[in-house]
Amino acid sequence: MKSRDHRRLYGAIPAILAACFFIYIVFADNGLDAPATVSLQARPESSSGSAPSNKPGTPGTLPETPVPKIEPLSNRIVDYHISVRLDAERHMLHGEQTVTWRHPGKLPVQELYFHLYPNAFRDDRTTFNRESGGKLRDDERTPDSIGYMEILSITRSDGADLLDTMRYVQPDDDNPADQTLMVIKLPEPVEPGQSVTLNMTFQVQLPYIYARMGYAGDFVMAGQWFPKLAVYEPKGRRGAAQEGWNLHQYHGNSEFYADFGTYNIKIDVPSSHIVAATGFPVAPHKDDGVRRLYHFYAEDVHDFAWAASPDFIYAEEAFSTPHLPGVKIKLYLDPHQAHLEKRYFTAAKRALSSFSEWYGAYPYSTLSIVVPPSGAGGAGGMEYPTLITAWEASEAQPSRELERVVVHEIGHQFWYGIVASNEFEEAWLDEGFTTYVEDKVMESQYGLTRSLPILSSYITDPEPLKLNAWDYDNHEVYAENVYTRASLVLQDIEQTIGTKKMKQVLRTYFQRWKFRHPTTQDFQKVLQDVTHRNWDSYFKQFVYGDMMIDYAVTGVKSRQTEQHGTTVYETRVYLERLGGVHRPVEVAIKLADGSIHMEKWNGAEKQKELVLYTEQPAEWVLVDPEFRQILENRHYNNFMRAEIAASDEVRWSYGTSKLVELLFSIFAW
């Protein structure tokens, strides 16, 4: 008990520090403390890896109240300074970007790779559109859904022009029409530990939105909108045997993977527009009556997104709990749903407080919720660091899906934003975990539970959970596995080790891997460390393999016989295992007098024959009557009757064949 108290005391230190920092930021945000904003804007040319607020050498700019020195939460490999201008008429972005990359490896690197995600929308030959058929979920491409990114110039900080070295690469599928990944060659290599700074100008044509980024009317969702550095993985990161670039194109099913860093972003929009963005505003926006200039800053995040619309109704609430030092929730509501403000805030607070209590504090000072207007469904239900989008505001009285999506995307802040797995290669680590924790909040906060047997029955195409996103047959199979099957696997683990232990597992995993990039193996390691048992067989079957649980009754036979001079019934039950093995199976046998006889089977053999002697014949057999086998996805073969009435058999067969015959007779003799 004591040691736990101690731990709680130590745990409070970062919370207090963060609280001070939050107060400081709130003041800076409101423009009440002008000097503070200066220090926040100042960014060194070389990436020193420290927060701008405590950069040595700028003591004069510190505010009166000394701000505690805060260590960076992440390794801050990248540093972006971008000025972007929205041409609302032509749905274009014009950007200037200064990006600094710090070499994290041990070998010289002469090539830099950038993701140019908007090129996924260039035409129907891109890998994204080929694989997805030009749609995401239910949102389909329109003739206006053409988008692209053009790199106008690239120079190194010393002025060396690199534009001519630029070319597109397609490591995943050799599709020459795909321009979502670009490489540039430096005149000389970057040495380990050194940094390189590039200046780039670019422009983006926004597509009419159907897949995360684009426009719909005056609404703009800028996600994956700037040339974004790919991840150079040092040896050992995510189990890499050798260091090198982790390179993937933008796929129909895939999401993203990037390094942590800092973002200093100026966004210039028409003065009618309100902008929501990752991070926090460095100063109040400036408005000359024609254009409006926003300035945001974010650190220890691995992406930066923003949205703009003249129609946003803005509201904000400060929120803190004993487990959450303080966060400003910023809501950008669609007028159609103006009356739903409270529901959004409540959902966000319940999610933030639950996750912070269970896994660890939400470490950022803001969380922005953008509600896309009706017609911008493609923007909905998406997560970016400290910014999420809800479903499009097409309904005035939406169901609990409103809360569910907010809770889900906030879940992603933890299992994507902070514990930053590689979504290209192991999407289950964010989608599966997020779906699982979303269910936990919907259950504890809203009393909504989803039927696990039904969810499991929904799994008709099980595939390995650790699989490249584009290696799933299609989006349905991808979603069925990385969301639903993955969350069921976590539910199954919880059922095995208990709810309390499971929270401990996730908390340990979060604490151990926050601001880093874990793999499936790393999660298994945490699970084994916390539970002190080996999970190899389980992971091999259900995580790395495509197994589900499937037990079947294949026969039930009761016959009268003599035993010790009395008449008894001998019942033989034939069972089969068609899926994986995890825990023993219960078998219920109902007898003619209505009593239920329970049998247990270890469930490991491929086939099993149960024999029992009872005073009554068996009526039916049911495997796993209490739904303990969470991954059982074929429930219909769990049940079998010993016999059925001949009349029933005739009646159903007769009725059905009659119906078929009637249909036949319309077309033929």
Partner 1 sequence: MLESLKAGLFAVGRRSLIIVLLFLYEIIWSFILYRYVHSVVGPILYRYPGEDIPNWSSLFWIESEIRLLKTDMADAYVLTLLAMLLVRMLLTPLINAGVFQTIHHSTGDQWRVFIDGIRRMWGRFLSLYALQTLAALAPLYWLVPPVARALRNGDLVSLLQPGSLLPWIGYLLYLALARLGFMYIQFAVASGERWGAALLIWLRKLLPSLGLTACILLIALFLQSILAAASLFWAGLVALIIYQATPLLRVALKIWEIASQHDLWLRSSRWTSR
Footprint of partner 1 on this chain (CB under 8 A)?
Answer: 453-454, 457-458, 460-461, 476, 590, 620, 622, 625, 634-641, 644, 646-654, 656-658, 660-661, 664-669
CB of 588 to partner 1, least distance (A): 9
Distances in Å between the Cα of 68 and the Cα atoms of 8, 14, 23, 268, 299 are: 20, 10, 12, 32, 16
Q: Taking Cα atoms as reference points, which of 27, 17, 21, 29 lies closest to residue 280?
A: 29
Report the alpha-carbon distance of residue 140 to residue 478 in Å, rounded: 18
Q: Taking Cα atoms as reference points, which of 28, 20, 41 lies closest to residue 284?
A: 28
CB of 636 to partner 1, least distance (A): 5
Q: In the complex with partner 1, which residue's Cβ is closer, 1 or 668?
A: 668
CB of 554 to partner 1, least distance (A): 10
The token duo for 190 is 């970057």
Q: In the complex with partner 1, which residue's Cβ is closer, 273 or 635?
A: 635
Q: What is the largest CA-CA distance in the chain?
A: 104
Q: In the complex with partner 1, which residue's Cβ is closer, 64 or 661?
A: 661
Distances in Å between the Cα of 39 and the Cα atoms of 58, 59, 278, 299 are: 7, 9, 19, 14
Q: In the complex with partner 1, which residue's Cβ is closer, 419 or 623?
A: 623
CB of 556 to partner 1, least distance (A): 9
Half-sphere exposure of 450 (CA within 13 A, CB side): 22
CB of 668 to partner 1, least distance (A): 4
What residue type is assigned to position 4 of the chain? R
Q: In the complex with partner 1, which residue's Cβ is closer, 323 or 590?
A: 590
CB of 550 to partner 1, least distance (A): 12
Taking the CB of residue 423, how many other CB atoms lie within 10 A of it? 21
CB of 635 to partner 1, least distance (A): 5
The beta-carbon contacts of 530-535 under 8 Å, at least 24 apart in sequence, are 530/501, 530/504, 530/505, 531/497, 531/501, 531/505
The beta-carbon contacts of 173-177 under 8 Å, at least 24 apart in sequence, are 173/127, 173/249, 173/470, 175/125, 175/126, 175/127, 175/130, 175/249, 177/122, 177/123, 177/125, 177/126
CB of 657 to partner 1, least distance (A): 4
Q: In the complex with partner 1, which residue's Cβ is closer, 102 or 485?
A: 485
Alpha-carbon Rg for the chain, nearest whole angstrom, is 29
What residue type is assigned to position 598 of the chain? M
Strands across the sheet containing 274-277: 214-216, 219-222, 306-309, 274-277
Taking the CB of residue 620, how many other CB atoms lie within 10 A of it? 17
Q: In the complex with partner 1, which residue's Cβ is closer, 89 or 138?
A: 138
Q: In the complex with partner 1, which residue's Cβ is closer, 349 or 590?
A: 590
CB of 656 to partner 1, least distance (A): 5
Report the alpha-carbon distance of residue 611 to residue 624 in Å, rounded: 18
Q: In the complex with partner 1, which residue's Cβ is closer, 68 or 555?
A: 555
Inter-residue contact 305 to 93 (CB < 8 Å): no
For 303, list phi and psi in degrees, rounded to 5.
Answer: -165, 165
CB of 128 to partner 1, least distance (A): 23
CB of 470 to partner 1, least distance (A): 21
Q: Taking Cα atoms as reference points, which of 140, 250, 210, 134 lies closest to residue 380?
A: 210
DSSP 414: I
What residue type is assigned to position 44 of the chain? P
CB of 644 to partner 1, least distance (A): 5
Q: In the complex with partner 1, which residue's Cβ is closer, 211 or 459?
A: 459
Q: Taking Cα atoms as reference points, which of 495, 469, 493 lies closest to residue 481?
A: 469
Q: In the complex with partner 1, which residue's Cβ is closer, 315 or 610?
A: 610
Q: In the complex with partner 1, which residue's Cβ is closer, 435 or 633?
A: 633
Note the residue count of the chain: 669
Q: In the complex with partner 1, which residue's Cβ is closer, 182 or 591?
A: 591
The angle at the Cα of 334, spanning 329 to 337, to the nearest 5 degrees, equals 95
CB of 592 to partner 1, least distance (A): 12
Strands across the sheet containing 639-641: 596-601, 585-591, 618-623, 639-641
Q: In the complex with partner 1, which residue's Cβ is closer, 164 or 626?
A: 626
Report the alpha-carbon distance of residue 189 to residue 288 in Å, rounded: 44
CB of 192 to partner 1, least distance (A): 51
End-to-end CA distance of the chain: 84
CB of 438 to partner 1, least distance (A): 22
Q: In the complex with partner 1, which residue's Cβ is closer, 1 or 646?
A: 646
Q: In the complex with partner 1, which residue's Cβ is closer, 290 or 668?
A: 668
- DSSP secondary structure letters along 547-568: --B-EEEEEEEEEEEEETTEEE
Distances in Å between the Cα of 649 and the Cα atoms of 57, 555, 558, 652, 655 are: 88, 17, 19, 6, 10
CB of 279 to partner 1, least distance (A): 39
Report the alpha-carbon distance of residue 68 to residue 251 in Å, rounded: 43
Inter-residue contact 410 to 437 (CB < 8 Å): no
